[in-house]
């Protein structure tokens, strides 16, 4: 073999080695290789980093500004032990807030960071509606289909619209549907974990001081919490800025018929005060082992509208009963007669729920 030929072979060998090194190393450095199937062959371009993507999405998350803040009344009610029998104070925290003025009428641990369970899903839906159209179809992932324990039984590979998934997330508190929403946003923008970053960016843009998310569902975690104050703020924000949320949380039931994209679903709203407490309009209940039973409920009577947030109740019945009593207490300050909801009324409501246990 001549020296000239040997040099040519060495050049080819070195070029191939360098090419192989670049193919392996560059993707790990965040650089995308544009292949021969691309419009421009052989050129490399940097992939947008997660931080760059979230920065581009922040204007979307800030389009609906929050100007609502809570203020403590100079005549803040102390819960009378004779009226409440001391039961309210079993919970971790609560707040009764005037929906329009932000006046805090009753509270315990108003700003304390506490597990909130599936009340999280209100912020999940708010964030998703900022970043997707309600009619966009989301392909169900296996991760979503495998979610436990509260689920409607979404099927991997089937498709559901964001609006359909929102109904499932807010009515039945379906973890599988909620995970599908988070996956749908991640897939749309091509960045795994982007949705949780967006939820936290949304919370920051709203001025929530004691709120942090590390999942879309409300699962227990040291890095996942909120406070009665922040929950009251984002509850009102959701209802006043997103007509879809306001309409969904009022419903007792929604039926999603089978179509070419997915099977049928029966969606029951497991908010025990709907149709029981006069003027109740939602919004979201929850439960986890750490958070215990939680609720954010809104009711309107005689022109007065209140938000009640309750975190850490020991059971479903007590959560709903005590929330009703707190509503009575708040409305009573405006001279509105107490509804005096009974345990039996709530138990009768629970019996109407198919699939509930």
**CA–CA gap between residue 257 and residue 242 (Å, rounded):** 24
Task: Give me the count of residues in the chain.
Answer: 357
Give which of 215, 235, 237, 233 is closest to 225, Cα–Cα: 215
Q: Which of 121, 151, 284, 318 is catalytic?
A: 121
CB 279 within 8 A of CB 304: no
41 is known as an active-site residue:
no
- Residue 299 sits at the vertex; the CA angle it makes with 107 and 216, to the nearest 5 degrees, is 75
**CA–CA gap between residue 353 and residue 337 (Å, rounded):** 29
Give which of 249, 287, 286, 288 is closest to 269, Cα–Cα: 249
Q: Which of 141, 173, 226, 296 is catalytic?
A: 173
Q: Which of 115, 118, 161, 226 is catalytic?
A: 118
205 is known as an active-site residue:
no
Say how many C-beta atoms besides its own lie within 10 A of residue 177's C-beta: 31
173 is known as an active-site residue:
yes
The strand pairing partners of 106, in sequence order, are 96
Kindly list the catalytic residues: 118, 121, 173
């Amino acid at each position: 073999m001549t020296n000239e030929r040997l040099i040519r072979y060495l050049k080819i060998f070195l070029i191939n080695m360098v090419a192989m090194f670049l193919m392996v190393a560059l993707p790990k450095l965040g650089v995308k290789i544009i292949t021969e199937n691309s419009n421009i062959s052989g050129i490399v371009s940097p992939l947008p980093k997660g931080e760059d993507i979230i920065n581009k999405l922040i204007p979307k998350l800030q389009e609906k500004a929050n100007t609502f803040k809570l203020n403590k009344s100079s005549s803040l009610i102390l819960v009378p032990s004779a009226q409440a029998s001391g039961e309210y104070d079993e919970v971790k925290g609560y707040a009764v807030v005037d929906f329009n003025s932000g006046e805090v009428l009753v509270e315990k641990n108003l700003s304390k960071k506490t597990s909130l369970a599936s009340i999280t899903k209100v912020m999940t839906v708010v964030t998703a509606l900022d970043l997707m159209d309600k009619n966009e179809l989301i392909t169900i992932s296996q991760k979503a289909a495998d979610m436990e324990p509260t689920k409607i039984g979404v099927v991997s590979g089937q498709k559901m619209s964001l609006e359909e998934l929102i109904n499932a997330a807010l009515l039945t508190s379906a973890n599988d549907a909620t995970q599908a929403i988070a996956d749908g946003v991640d897939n749309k923008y091509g960045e795994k974990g982007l949705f949780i970053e967006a939820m936290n960016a949304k919370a920051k843009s709203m001025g929530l001081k004691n709120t942090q998310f590390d999942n879309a569902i409300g699962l227990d975690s040291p890095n996942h919490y909120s406070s009665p104050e922040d929950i009251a703020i984002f509850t009102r924000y959701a209802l006043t800025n997103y007509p879809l949320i306001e309409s969904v949380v009022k419903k007792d039931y929604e039926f999603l018929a089978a179509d070419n994209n997915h099977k049928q679903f029966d969606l029951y709203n497991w908010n025990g005060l709907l149709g029981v407490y006069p003027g109740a309009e939602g919004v979201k209940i929850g439960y986890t082992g750490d958070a215990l039973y939680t609720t954010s409920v809104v009711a309107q009577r005689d022109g007065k509208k209140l938000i009640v947030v309750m975190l850490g109740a020991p059971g479903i019945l007590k959560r709903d009963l005590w929330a009703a009593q707190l509503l009575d207490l708040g409305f009573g300050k405006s001279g509105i007669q107490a509804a005096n909801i009974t345990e039996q009324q709530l138990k009768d409501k629970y019996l109407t729920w198919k699939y509930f246990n």
